[in-house]
Amino acid sequence: MNWHQDYIERYKKLKEQGKSFFPYAVLKDTIMAFFILGLLCWFAYHFGAALEDPADPTDSNYNPRPEWYFLFLFQALKLFPGNLESVAAVLLPGLGVTFLFLLPFLDRGPERHFLKRPFFTLLGVGTLAGIGYLTYQGTVSPLTNPIVEKDPLVFAGQRLYVSLNCSYCHKIGGKGGTVGPELDKVASGETEDWLEKHFREPQSVSPGSAMPKLNLLDDEIKVLVAFIKSLGGGEGFTEEAPKVFAENCAMCHKIGKEGAEVGPDLSLIGTARDKNYIRKYIEDPSKLNPTSNMPGYKGQLTDVQIEDLARYLSAQKGN
């Protein structure tokens, strides 16, 4: 092409007129790097790096969500239902990458200013706007499943319960062995002090117990006690509670086979939440879960009814 030679010559001239890379350009690079490092440290300090609960392949209540820079792709999938999903999932990104690779051969004229390349400028701006729009849509789209916050101590205790194979002898929620007592029925009623002594030296508080001494570390005992205590709950509720539920909640929620599926199924809510959390949630869901569509019931129901309902729900452990 005839302009190639001209460009090389013109660039040579520009280069000669230009300044030395060091220190002029390097200064800008260094200041930029300094700014970036500062910003990075600020982000690291301010937000840290989140670590959620350990991966649980059996958890069906989790809201999978990709990192924000993949969110547009995630969101795009929703625009292509059914068989067409592969278009958004593979074809579009594939085309995009191919386009990027071929770009220097598609746009090969001498013009470099964006105003002189209206097609590519518009294409670029259009793509950016599309990605921006989809990302925005992705961030505001509500999470279908409620965000379940767990007490870290209780959760750690639950993990330890599994890894120590306690269920070989003990039952929780009707599952487990029959050698030892059913923990949610018996053990959660004991005091923390009793439980701690029991973990350290089972025979010291219950002579003749078949429970082995486990040589547990102090913090392991702490989390196990928290876990066992959390199995309690289900303080007595009145006969009114199921009726209140049927009248106010069942049009969205399900317990067992009764109720609708607009909101989450609450049949097992007592295994994830304690009474106090549930009461707060019924009073004003938005405080605990900003993306919830559920209305608050403070004022709609009396405090006694809410308390009763919370007790009823915290007893829902699937048994």
**DSSP bridge partners of 254:** 259, 265
Tell me which of 3, 133, 136, 168 binds other proteins, using CB under 8 A.
3
* 110 lies in the site for other proteins, by CB under 8 A: yes
* 28 lies in the site for other proteins, by CB under 8 A: yes
* 14 lies in the site for other proteins, by CB under 8 A: yes
What is the C-alpha separation between 176 and 170, in angstroms, rounded?
Answer: 5
* 114 lies in the site for other proteins, by CB under 8 A: yes
Contacts of other proteins in 38-97 (CB under 8 A): 39-41, 43-45, 47-57, 59, 62, 64-67, 69-70, 73-74, 77, 85-86, 89-90, 97
Choice between 31 and 260, CB closer to other proteins? 31
* 4 lies in the site for other proteins, by CB under 8 A: yes
Tell me which of 34, 133, 136, 168 binds other proteins, using CB under 8 A.
34
DSSP letters along 66-102, please?
--GGGHHHHHHHTTS-GGGHHIIIIIHHHHHHHHHHH
- Both structure tokens of 156: 């750690």
Quick note: the x/- pattern for other proteins over 128-147, rule CB under 8 A, is x-------------------
Residue 220 host element (H or E)? helix 218-230
* 17 lies in the site for other proteins, by CB under 8 A: yes
Tell me which of 20, 58, 236, 239 binds other proteins, using CB under 8 A.
20
- With contact defined as beta carbons under 8 Å apart, do 221 and 200 qualify? yes
Tell me which of 119, 207, 215, 257 binds other proteins, using CB under 8 A.
215
Q: Residue 283, SS3?
A: helix
Contacts of other proteins in 277-296 (CB under 8 A): none
To the nearest whole angstrom, how small is the minimum distance from the Cβ of residue 317 to other proteins? 22
Total residues contacting other proteins by CB under 8 A comes to 89
What is the C-alpha separation between 235 and 307, in angstroms, rounded?
Answer: 10
Judge if the upstream peptide bond of residue 23 is cis by omega within 30 degrees of 0.
yes
Q: What's phi and psi for 17, nearest 5 deg?
A: -70, -25
To the nearest whole angstrom, how small is the minimum distance from the Cβ of residue 71 to other proteins? 11
What is the C-alpha separation between 229 and 93, in angstroms, rounded?
Answer: 51
Residue 165, exposed/middle/buried by CB under 10 A (0-12, 13-18, 19+)?
exposed
To the nearest whole angstrom, how small is the minimum distance from the Cβ of residue 211 to other proteins? 15
